[in-house]
């Protein structure tokens, strides 16, 4: 039994299981602190960037809602006018509009109808374009916000890891 204990005393402790020296632990602590400071600055910058993008998203949402509301109002007004004219005009009056004594009078009536429809149609088309652009801008702003939020979350995870590491290194330093 004595021979076994003597042999065990001669087996060196491997470096993989040994705690670092006090100087190494201090150096790791300093390096971790510097890394934590950099990550904290990055996190603050990411929060500021995300806040700016969130304001952009809010403005894009407001613009898209306004454009959609204006489009709906004009399109609804146009539908009401057309529906009202068709409901109020008896079939005989409507037929009179399309019949005339001369081709010129018929062409004049058709030109007037085309003008009114075209004017309203152009307004509705222009508003539809504005609405589509606003909705596209809103979508892009939301994508940008999602990307900024992801960056902020990644940096926050790094900061949490560094804080955990600092706690471990503090415990190690206190034991040494």
- Supply the pTM of this predicted model: 0.54
Distance CA 88, CA 94 (A): 10
If you average pLDDT over residues 63-85, what whole number do you get? 74
What pLDDT, in 10s, does the model give residues 25-66?
A: 788 878 888 888 898 899 899 899 989 988 988 988 888 888
pLDDT score, position 154: 92
Tell me what percent of the residues of the chain surpass a pLDDT of 70. Answer: 72
Which residue's structure tokens are 């955990």?
Answer: 164
Quick one: which H or E segment has residue 15? Answer: none
| Cβ burial 79-95 (10 Å sphere, 16+ → b, else e) | eeeeeeeeeeeeeeeee
| CB 58 within 8 Å of CB 145 | no
Task: Give the mean pLDDT of the chain.
Answer: 75
For Cα atoms 157, 37, 176, give the angle at the middle one, nearest 5 degrees. 90
Distance CA 84, CA 53 (A): 46
pLDDT score, position 165: 84
Distance CA 34, CA 27 (A): 11
Distance CA 65, CA 121 (A): 21
If you average pLDDT over residues 14-33, what whole number do you get? 73
**Which range, 123-132, 148-157, 162-171, has the best average confidence (pLDDT)?**
148-157
């Amino acid at each position: 039994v004595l021979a076994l204990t003597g042999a065990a005393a001669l087996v060196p402790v491997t470096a993989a299981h040994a705690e670092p020296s006090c100087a190494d632990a201090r150096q790791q602590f300093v390096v971790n602190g510097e890394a934590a400071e950099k990550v904290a600055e990055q996190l603050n910058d990411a929060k500021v960037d995300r806040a700016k993008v969130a304001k952009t998203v809010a403005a894009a949402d407001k613009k898209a809602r306004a454009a959609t509301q204006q489009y709906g109002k004009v399109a609804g007004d146009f539908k009401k006018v057309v529906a009202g004219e068709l409901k109020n005009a008896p079939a005989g009056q409507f037929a009179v509009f399309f019949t005339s004594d001369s081709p010129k009078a018929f062409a004049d009536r058709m030109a007037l109808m085309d003008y009114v429809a075209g004017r309203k149609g152009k307004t509705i088309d222009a508003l539809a374009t504005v609405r589509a652009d606003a909705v596209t801008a809103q979508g892009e702003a939301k994508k940008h916000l999602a990307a900024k939020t992801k960056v902020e979350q990644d940096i926050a995870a790094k900061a949490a890891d560094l804080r955990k590491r600092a706690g471990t290194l503090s415990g190690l330093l206190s034991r040494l």
